[in-house]
Amino acid sequence: MTRHNSLSDYASKRFRLAGKAVLDFGNPFFAPIDSLGAEAERRGDHFVSFANYDYLGLASHPRVKAVAADALDQLGVGALASRLVGGERSTHQLLEEEVAAFLGTESSLALVSGYLTNLTTITHLMAGRDALFIDELSHNSIASAAKSSGSEVVVFRHNDLDHLDDLLAANRENYRNALIVVEALYSMDGDIVDLPRIVEIKERHQAWLLVDEAHSLGVLGATGRGISELAGIDPNRIDLIIGTMSKTLASCGGFIAAKRSITEWMRYSLPGFVYSVGLSPVITAAARAALQLMQEESWRIDRLTKNAELFRQCAQEADLDTGPAIGRGVVPILFGSSQETMLASHYLLEQGFYCPPIVQIGVPKDQPRLRFFISATHTEDDIRRVIAALGTRPAAAAEAPEQVASAAL
């Protein structure tokens, strides 16, 4: 007779198979960073987070907090319903107009989650006679959408556009619609897509192109307008630009920027928009203020660029492996094993630096890393000290891999 596990037993087994054993080397996740920072300040010590993607340092800007507080007083906490069936606040469309104007697109549509934005957009667009062409290192929101879309999924090697071109040449005519999905700035590796080449490929093969700008808004381009500004490409040659408000814009939510005909159709049909509550007025106000500030205080983009370049330079001078990172926003440091990565993260926390490890989820298992998010608010001293701390970390015990292997059995 088949043994039927309880949900609790099933969850425990799946957790173990997913790599729970690495927590035997300490659990650096879900740290209460506000409490840790306050405790360090009381002791007269420093606490520096490299784990938060507040790229331009706007999350605690007095103006952002003030307009959020004012929105709370004037409009309340929540939107209280789907915008389609419950109506919206005037600030919703103002945010969408300002995002579109900043990016140089005709229109935009704001949703309550960046992850949801990729998931609902891709699954809404693609069906059984269509094909999705995605980078092998695509974010989970893209990979999950691909699995759920019902379309054929074709994976090309990371940033290998010759491979993508060959796959389209061989397969494009087999499908009604073809959507290419890439990230502007890859969130685990810190490298970028070759936008001019991929636009040329998509136009030649009569495909659509979705570019995820989650980590590139405020990071790439002289004024932070993203990969299209950096590459000198008209953003209207990109069919769909996906972004988030949770990074540079210091709040929460996602958006789609595209031609008006596309966003107007989605306003009445996109499941993740129609069946989800609208953005909180507090979030909308904070995002609008951050968007305005990044244009007024453009020095933040320059400082972020210099900080990220300095971090990458110092890491490489210390013989640390930064992979393919270009030195913008996200810079990983790769290690030889999950155990070494966990121990390095724990050691940094002891030294006052918070940078959780990426060891089992989101990256290949043979490429564990510490992923450093660089901010305009980091100082040169912060950067040099964290690299110096990595250079003095104790070596991982030789028996550590065996300990983890036996614990996982």
pLDDT score of 37: 83
pLDDT at 43: 87
| Type of residue numbered 177 | N
pLDDT tier for residue 36 given thresholds of 50, 70 and 90: confident
Whole-model pTM: value is: 0.91
Q: What is the mean pLDDT of the chain?
A: 92
Amino acid letter for position 184: A
Cβ contact 110:255 at 8 Å: yes
Determine how many CB atoms are found less than 10 A away from the CB of residue 31: 14
Give per-residue pLDDT as tens, 212-256: 999 999 999 999 999 999 999 999 999 999 999 999 998 999 999
DSSP character at residue 275: T
Residue 3: the pLDDT is 79
The alpha-helical segments, DSSP class H, found in 297-364 are 299-317, 338-350
Average pLDDT over residues 57-76: 95
pLDDT at residue 96 is higher than 70: yes
CB atoms within 10 A of CB 318: 13
Overall average pLDDT of the 394-404 stretch: 53
Four-residue CA torsion sign, 361, 152, 231, 220:
negative
Q: Tokens standing for 319?
A: 């013989």
Mind listing the pLDDT tens digit for each residue in 352-363? 999 999 886 656
* d(C-alpha 114, C-alpha 135), whole Å: 19
- The Cα–Cα gap between 253 and 363 comes to 24
Can you tell me whether residue 231 is helix, strand or coil? helix
Instruction: Decide if 293 contacts 299 (C-beta within 8 A).
Output: no
pLDDT tens by residue, 46-64: 899 999 999 999 999 999 9
% of the chain exceeding 70 in pLDDT = 95
* C-alpha angle 121-248-279 in degrees, rounded to nearest 5: 50
155: left (phi over 0), alpha (psi -120 to 50) or beta: beta
114 CB-contact burial (10 Å; exposed 0-12 / middle 13-18 / buried 19+): buried
Helices 299-317, 281-296: crossing angle, 10 deg rounding: 80
Q: Answer yes or no: are the C-beta atoms of 390 and 320 closer than 8 Å.
A: yes
Residues 6+ apart with CB under 8 A from 11: none
Cα–Cα distance, 174 to 177 (Å, whole number): 9
**pLDDT value, residue 405:** 37
Calculate the alpha carbon distances from 92 to 67, 84, 146, 375 in Å: 15, 12, 29, 28
Binned at pLDDT 50, 70 and 90, residue 401 comes out as: very low
